[in-house]
Structure formats: structure tokens, C-alpha cells
Structure 1
């Protein structure tokens, strides 16, 4: 009986302590070099997407901007991380990337260029690993993979690279 009580107490204690991080626990550098504390996005749904300027999916910048213009503001934010890991399709530096994005009139948040394969930033390790996010495992396999994060900072789902930012699944989630 004594061993049973110890086991129950140990299990309950470790279960309570096994809290997962949220997006709000992270920060990263913007394309301008400033630090963005994701805790500033608390209360907003967030779409995190890895981008590239020389990809056949690059026109998604336009669709991301349309989505942002329709839903962005107090309740929704897009955070884009340029990345050169997939097909070497983002070869430019931060300044070049920012200038490129101007043609799409991007007004959502652009982050500094990252590597997801070689040295993923902590926020991407969290997004892709259920042991860290408590929800899902999702390997990033190409440019424009989209992660959906709720108002509390929990990753809830992801959309593959070819899925349009204007998909019904994404719009329905934003309307919830």
C-alpha cells in the first residue's frame, strides 16, 4: 500500500510539472535586427511560416498578405521566417529579402533569415517537436510550411507548403 501511495504521488507530481512551453516563451530577431518577444502576441492567433523568394511557391507572399489584410491586427499575426534550406531558394541576406518582399507589399512580421535543418532556432524546435509543444510532430519539408498557433500560444496544427494561405481550413480556424 505504501508503495502504491508513493507511486500515485510521484505520478501526479511529475504530471503537474510536465508543462509544455508555448510560443509566448520564445523570442527571435526580426529582419530589422530587433528582438520580437512572442509573448507580445498573447491573445492573437499566429501563423508561423518559413519563406523563400526564389521558390515556385513564392507567390504565396501575395496570398499571405491578403490573409493578413483580411484578418490581421488585434486578433491575428503572421510571422515569416526566410530560410535557404530547401532548394537553396532564399540566397539573399536580410536586406535583400526585405527589399524583395516590398513587391508583395508585405506588412506582416518578417524575421531574420534562419536555418531550420542545420541549426533550427528554439521556436522551430518547439513547433516541430511534440515533446516540446505537447501537440504534434511536424518535420518542415519545404518552403511555405505553415504552423497554426492559438491565442494561448499553443501549436494546434500545420498546413503543408502547397496549401494556400487562403485555404478554407485556415480561414475557418481564424473565424473560430
Structure 2
């Protein structure tokens, strides 16, 4: 059975990241964009991360230009995330979330929780909550705010 631990990614800084490093944690995977109307969600995601990281929550941001709302360079992405929203949670390198070139982690996430559109990511800030066992618990719409995830995160952390 495939779990989040079976994947690798690249950090925004260019270093390889083995997602097995997050085994035993509750992980919120989010496809982000720094030029989107939903970009202020970074603030709420950071708040969730700071509040629950000691209990085992990790937020993983995966910038994506799949909807033409992300900067070209990693430096520009980092600047928006850190300077405008104080993001300290791990940010990965820019990836595609739909189509044949979608990052393998998003291919897997979409297969696990198809959601609307037959699995395709509808928009930036689609969120996937992954349990401590590495399996997908739930998929949340882009418009679901980080604060609305609080109860689900607390339940996942309690198991």
C-alpha cells in the first residue's frame, strides 16, 4: 500500500526531501500560489502549523503554476511566503499538480481522494490531510480556510 513516505520532493531551496522524514506526523499538503486571491491563506496555514507542530503537524506547501498564478523563481516565491506571510513551514519546489507532468505525490493524492472533476485539482490551495500512518484522510476544497480545518487536524493528531 502506497503512503506519503514513498515519495520524494525537492525543497524550494533545491535540496532533495524524502517525505519519509514526516512518517508518524500528520501532514497537510497544500498546492499554493503566491499571486492568487487565496494567497492570504498562507497566514492561516502558518497559524495552524505553529499551533500544532509540537503535537505532530507538518504543513507542506507545494507551489504550483498550474493555474498561472505563481512566480517563476524560487526566490520570488520564498519572498512572498516569508516576507508577506511569515511562512516557516516547509515549502517545496514549484510543481505541476494536474496533467501528465503532475508531481507523483499529487498523482497519488488525487487518486486517493478524487474529489470533484474526476480527481483533478480544481484550483490553488486544495488541501490534503494525511494521517500519521501516511494515508490520506481527507481532501479539502481551495475555499476551505485553514481555520475550518482545525477540528479535522485535532482529530488526526489525537489518533
CA distance in 1, matches of 2:66, 2:151: 27
Whether the 8 Å CA contact 2:8–2:16 is kept in 1: the answer is yes
Unpaired stretches in structure 1, ≥5 consecutive residues: 1-19, 131-135
**Secondary structure of 1:79 counterpart:** strand
Aligned partner (choices 9, 28, 44) of residue 28 of structure 1: 9
Per the TM alignment, residue 95 of structure 1 is displaced from its structure 2 partner at its CA by 1.2
Per the TM alignment, residue 74 of structure 1 is displaced from its structure 2 partner at its CA by 5.4
Whether the 8 Å CA contact 1:71–1:174 is kept in 2: the answer is no
Q: Which moved more, 1:73-82 or 1:32-41?
A: 73-82
Instruction: Note closer, same or farther for the CA distance 1:34–1:74 as it changes in structure 2 (3 Å cut).
Output: farther
Structure 2-normalised TM-score? 0.89
The structure that has the greater radius of gyration is: 1
Q: 1:37 corresponds to which residue?
A: 18
Aligned partner (choices 111, 127, 141) of residue 109 of structure 2: 127
- 2:127 aligned with 1:146: yes
Unpaired stretches in structure 2, ≥5 consecutive residues: none
CA distance in 1, matches of 2:125, 2:152: 14
CA shift digits 1:9-43 (9 cap, x unpaired): xxxxxxxxxxx200001110000011111111011
Per the TM alignment, residue 116 of structure 1 is displaced from its structure 2 partner at its CA by 1.4
CA RMSD of aligned residues (A): 1.4
Q: 1:96 corresponds to which residue?
A: 76
- Paired residues in the alignment total 151
CA distance in 2, matches of 1:43, 1:171: 14
Per the TM alignment, residue 52 of structure 1 is displaced from its structure 2 partner at its CA by 0.6
Q: 1:137 corresponds to which residue?
A: 114
What pairs with 1:1-176 in structure 2 (closer than 5 Å)?
A: 20-73=1-54, 75-86=56-67, 88-102=68-82, 103-118=84-99, 119-130=101-112, 136-138=113-115, 139=119, 140-167=121-148, 168-176=150-158
Whether the 8 Å CA contact 2:26–2:157 is kept in 1: the answer is no
CA shift digits 1:124-146 (9 cap, x unpaired): 1110113xxxxx32331100000
CA distance in 2, matches of 1:114, 1:89: 12
Per the TM alignment, residue 54 of structure 1 is displaced from its structure 2 partner at its CA by 1.0
